[in-house]
Structure 1
Amino acid sequence: MTNSVAEKIRKLRKAKGFSQEDMADRLHISQSAYARIENGESYSWAAHIERLSEILEVKPESFLTDETNNLEQENTDQKGGMAFQFVGTINTINSLSEKLLEQYEERIKELKDQVDYWKSKSESSKQ
């Protein structure tokens, strides 16, 4: 999923005429961090999804929706359209929640490792 999100972000950025540096500045991150988002090397887009959607003028769920689903929805009559949209929004929220949880769990592990490291340094300096 990350690669499809990354591709969508890249396409939208280019369509708006923004450089990677422009986007990085607007997101208050480094250009290299932004490049990792567009290259699919980072999930940090999830932490910036609200701001990305504002900058690129799209709904946050548009980053996660499957383009084939959008086409299918457009080719059907309007019966149940609102229900389909509602389910799609719930699925988007669930996907975002899962990605954010993964990011937070990874960060917590990194912080725990750092705490363990500094505790061991502190204990060794006391001896």
Structure 2
Amino acid sequence: MAVNDKVRALHELNNWSQEEMAERMNISESSYSRLERGESRLDLAKLEKLAAIFKVDIGELVTSDGKSLICLNGENSGNHASYYINTTSENLVSELEKVKLELEHAREVAGYKDQIIEQKDNEIAALKSLLAALQK
């Protein structure tokens, strides 16, 4: 898989738009689009920036041995997961869809966890208020 194809797959796995990727790279959206289409060369600085954005090793981006893997590290939460996709697989599209669903599920779980914490914090605040009223 070519570098530009890996970049496109990784940005899609993260559900980021080309505009968001261009912002993250500090380049124009048209420049980023050319990069994904393979119409512009990637210098070392851009490769390093892409690797940092996707939290992968530069080697994973530039490997083209036909057996290369895409690795997506978890987001900024404490839960870091890695997904490996064999790019030689005939079912690459279905594998990408599976990973997207897993990522979406992880985001939903994280959102649910945040709701529970917020509810707990509200209950604690209400109990503190009640305790203060009883102490008076």
TM-score, normalized by length of structure 1? Answer: 0.49
Highest relative contact order (Cα 8 Å, sep 6+), 1 or 2?
A: 1
Max Rg structure: 2
TM-score, normalized by length of structure 2? Answer: 0.46
Higher strand share: 2
Higher helix share: 1
